[in-house]
Structure 1
Amino acid sequence: MEELVERRRGKLHPAIARAREAVRATLAELPHGTTVLVACSGGTDSLALAAVTAFEAPKLGLRAGAVVVDHGLQPDSAHIAATAAEQCRTLGLEPVLVRAVEVGSDGGPEAAARAARYDALRDAADELAADVVLLAHTRDDQAETVLLGLGRGSGARSLAGMAPAVGLLRRPFLEVPRATTAAACIASGLRPWHDPHNDDPQYTRVRVRHEVLPVLEEALGPGVVEALARTAGLLRADADALDLLAADVAETALSRAESEVRAEVGVLTDEPAAIRTRVLRQAALEAGCRATDLTAGHIASVEALVTDWRGQRWIDLPQGVRAIRKGGFIILGPDVTG
């Protein structure tokens, strides 16, 4: 492999070096003996992550394995998953699990596949007593996520993109360009699988990748992807701070009784909109709304029950949840209008 040739020359390919540095920074925070799993599809980004993790984890006293999720969305998906799993084993990852999932339809094909994949990853982590699952999202993925949130008219939390760490999930490549992972695969002699869905314009993310971002680069100059990813980081810090403040208010403003969640109007009225809407969103989620279906428009309508009360009727929310104002409270639940 080219990496071995370069090592003999005393030089490591810059793309491999950058990928290793990113993964090393993530793994260095973990206690000795931690089990780490790489979510690997066999594609360029995840295969590069698998190779780098297999190299770095043992040096830090960590156990590194992999999980390959077969979404069953293509006729040869089982073969693709088996090939990815064998590549992971060849790299030195062990254990390597293949998990077949059924992809539903809630939220559209992309959201449904993502939900099924994350469920499978969490189940695999439980089975293997793994503390961390590494995901291969790159800086380019982050930029696309920001643009998707912007197109939906989402708030700061959505525009903050993907977090580097949430629960057992870690994303060490969020500041690494996609071109770097591709170069790392080439330099290492790896042969990634190319998912045809990544070129299918029926998917919104694909259109953003191949149509929107190139236009922005042409109009605004190079560096748009980096700027969008940097913006996500800045907004995430702001959103985290506001979430903490909103959590404190929610402790006072929200109460729960069986299937209902109540938000006290008197507490919310004097709060800034950024805090009030976060509390109401939390109330809607606790009442049964799914985060993927709950939009900023829904929350604005519920907020109007606090700030622009004119005796309006209830607000319909996802998953059959309704919000209505009664006796100084916004009441949210599946049967609050009776």
Structure 2
Amino acid sequence: MARIPPPVAAVRTAVRRGLSGLPADALVLVACSGGADSLALASAARFTGKRVGLVTVDHGLQEGSDRRARSVAAWARDAGFDPVRIETVSVAGLHGGPEAAARTARYAALSAAADELGAAAVLLGHTRDDQAETVLLALARGAGPRGLSGMPARRGVFRRPLLDIARAETRKACAALGLAPWEDPHNTDPAYARSRVRASALPALVAALGPAVLTNLARTATLIAADTAALDELAVAALAESRSGEGLSVSVLAGLLPAVRGRVLHSWARELGAPGGALAHRHVVSLDALVTAWHGQGTVHLPGGIGVARRSGELVRVVPAHIK
């Protein structure tokens, strides 16, 4: 029997682990752009014994993107994937820059396909390098622990089995299998922050600190994610304990650890209707000041036209004066 090339074996092992806990007859969908990471992922998924389908998303952002999608779909059908879907999406009217809008549209399409087909999981091809880039970008934005947690291995229907696999290994796996990956021009376009990090920032860090920096950044995300999950659980209990009358008890909030109190206030603001995309750190800091730095200040204005004030020892929702 021919020996399986080590990169191919590594990717297959990672995918088997990533699918643990799923029923034997579960349908698994692979999100595949045709790039090296998702091609290696898709090929490995075919060796798990699961029913495996494939979805490729056409964002319509590049000339010939429809041809690329049809080419990926044709390869998938020939390779035995079933079902095979092409999802065409539009980023028009979506919030954020081109990257964020494309991501929003892509995840919505993948979720809809999973729901329609009854898939138990959708596999995404993010690698250890992608995780390192995510952590570095979060650091640059001044993100808190949630941002520094990077991409989770599992969230809802989505699974990322390759987060411990280097991008170079997926390329080697494709070469060993005779697969010809598509090179996304967006990945080298300096207009995108992630492309600049990939082309310049991370190579500079590797040159200065050694190749282990990629692994260490990814490991940092894993460690912070575990701590964040623990704090989130404490915050759920603390929010329930803080409820009083029409709002939250200031005395209970004041007794919480700052990290827990911040999460409680953030969750409560979301409950009041503040949109998550617009709810910023400064809003939570202002709410916290009503608890810890009270000097008679007025209403805190949150996104969505929501006001919060301190009344009789409670934080309560009020109607902001400018919309009365």
The answer to whether residue 201 in structure 2 is matched with residue 209 in structure 1 is no
User: For residue 129 of structure 2, what is the aligned residue in structure 1?
Assistant: 140
The answer to whether residue 301 in structure 2 is matched with residue 309 in structure 1 is no
String of CA shifts for 1:99-142, please: whole Å, max 9, x gaps. Answer: 11121341222222111111111110110011111111100111
User: For residue 83 of structure 1, what is the aligned residue in structure 2?
Assistant: 71
**Would the aligned equivalents of 2:244 and 2:314 in 1 still touch at CA under 8 Å?**
no
User: For residue 184 of structure 2, what is the aligned residue in structure 1?
Assistant: 195
Question: Quick one: distance in 2 between partners of 1:280 and 1:309?
Answer: 16
User: For residue 17 of structure 1, what is the aligned residue in structure 2?
Assistant: 9
Question: Quick one: distance in 2 between partners of 1:47 and 1:138?
Answer: 12
Alignment of 1:225-304 (within 5 A): 225-254=214-243, 262-304=247-289
User: For residue 151 of structure 2, what is the aligned residue in structure 1?
Assistant: 162
String of CA shifts for 1:52-85, please: whole Å, max 9, x gaps. Answer: 10122x2xxx211011111111122211111121
**Would the aligned equivalents of 1:146 and 1:159 in 2 still touch at CA under 8 Å?**
yes
Question: Quick one: distance in 2 between partners of 1:300 and 1:108?
Answer: 26
**Would the aligned equivalents of 1:284 and 1:332 in 2 still touch at CA under 8 Å?**
no
Distance 1:102 1:276, change over 3 A: same
**Would the aligned equivalents of 1:50 and 1:91 in 2 still touch at CA under 8 Å?**
no
Give me the TM-score of the superposition, normalised by structure 2: 0.92
String of CA shifts for 1:257-280, please: whole Å, max 9, x gaps. Answer: 8xxxx4332221110011001111
Question: Quick one: distance in 2 between partners of 1:51 and 1:263?
Answer: 52
Distance 1:205 1:323, change over 3 A: farther
User: For residue 22 of structure 2, what is the aligned residue in structure 1?
Assistant: 30
Distance 1:195 1:244, change over 3 A: same
The root-mean-square deviation of aligned C-alpha atoms, in Å, is 2.0
Give identity over the alignment, percent: 50
**Would the aligned equivalents of 2:56 and 2:73 in 1 still touch at CA under 8 Å?**
yes
Distance 1:265 1:167, change over 3 A: same
Distance 1:263 1:115, change over 3 A: farther
User: For residue 70 of structure 1, what is the aligned residue in structure 2?
Assistant: 58
How far 1:88 sits from its partner (Å)?
Answer: 1.9
Question: Quick one: distance in 2 between partners of 1:256 and 1:89?
Answer: 60
Give me the TM-score of the superposition, normalised by structure 1: 0.89
User: For residue 98 of structure 2, what is the aligned residue in structure 1?
Assistant: 109
Distance 1:197 1:256, change over 3 A: farther
Counterpart AA for 2:73: A
Gaps of 5+ in 1: 1-7
String of CA shifts for 1:271-318, please: whole Å, max 9, x gaps. Answer: 001100111111222233343443333322322222112233334444
How far 1:183 sits from its partner (Å)?
Answer: 0.8
Gaps of 5+ in 2: none
The answer to whether residue 80 in structure 2 is matched with residue 95 in structure 1 is no
String of CA shifts for 1:233-268, please: whole Å, max 9, x gaps. Answer: 1111111111111011112325898xxxx4332221
How far 1:209 sits from its partner (Å)?
Answer: 1.4
User: For residue 4 of structure 1, what is the aligned residue in structure 2?
Assistant: none
**Would the aligned equivalents of 2:301 and 2:320 in 1 still touch at CA under 8 Å?**
no
String of CA shifts for 1:6-37, please: whole Å, max 9, x gaps. Answer: xx5x2111110000000011223211111111
Distance 1:318 1:199, change over 3 A: farther
Question: Quick one: distance in 2 between partners of 1:177 and 1:188?
Answer: 17
Question: Quick one: distance in 2 between partners of 1:321 and 1:186?
Answer: 55
**Would the aligned equivalents of 2:242 and 2:252 in 1 still touch at CA under 8 Å?**
yes
Counterpart AA for 2:15: V
Distance 1:294 1:25, change over 3 A: same
SS at match of 1:55: coil
Question: Quick one: distance in 2 between partners of 1:316 and 1:116?
Answer: 30
**Would the aligned equivalents of 2:26 and 2:51 in 1 still touch at CA under 8 Å?**
yes
Alignment of 1:122-137 (within 5 A): 122-137=111-126
